Homo-oligomer: A and B are copies of this chain.
Amino acid sequence: MASLPRRKQPQQVRRNLLNAAAEIASEHGLEFVTTAEVAKRAGVTSGGLFHHFPSKKHLIDEMINAFMKSVETCIEDLIKKDPDPRGRFTRAYLVSSYGYDPRSVDNRLLGAIITAMNRDPELAEPWADWMEKQMEKYDQEKDPILASIVRYAADGLWMEIFAASHVDFEKRQAAFQRLMDWTRQL
């Protein structure tokens, strides 16, 4: 079968570059994302990459923003599907933190991004703004302190997977269950 002449799809190449960057960051960490490797995985040369992005920073920033957006929509979906209005946001936040598979691409990528946030605080701002907006919308809870504790614990649950070498999954599950129960009485 004679293949049709391949038409160039620049926007697809662009997406490929962003995906390649995310892939490398999740596999080995943000520091291993080099322009040469990203270009190679996207089936393009270095020159091609710099045709689509004026600098490496632009590429990375756009990749991070795209991922954060996907996390946001994930949480928003969980909220929409939740029949119980009490503590919806906090519960969705908890589920999304706990649900991550330690080896998953997303979890490792999120780790790389949070790391980058520490170095570059302006990266954290869109996320903080979104959080604040969600809080205003949903945080009309009876016990906002308990809600914040649940969210702190959710972060801890996530970090355990991110940084710990071996984990007691039974205890972890039990802690998650109790936290979930707490969100019902918010």
Contact = CB atoms under 8 A, between A and B. Distances in A.
A115 interface: yes
A159 interface: yes
A87 interface: no
Given A118-B108, A153-B153, A175-B145, A128 B159 contact: no
Main secondary structure of the interface of A (DSSP, over half): helix
Contacts of A154: 152, 156
Interface in A91-137: 108, 111, 114-115, 117-119, 121-122, 124-125, 128
A119 B156 contact: no
A121 B162 CA distance: 10
For this chain, the copies found in one complex come to 2
Nearest to A178: B145
A12 to B, nearest CB: 31
Interface in A67-107: none
A58 interface: no
Given A154-B156, A155-B155, A160-B155, A149 B178 contact: yes
A163 B29 contact: no
Contacts of A174: 145, 148
A166 interface: yes
A49 interface: no
Nearest to A155: B156
A119 B148 CA distance: 29
Most chain B CB inside 10 Å of its own CB: which residue of A122, A155, A159, A162: A155
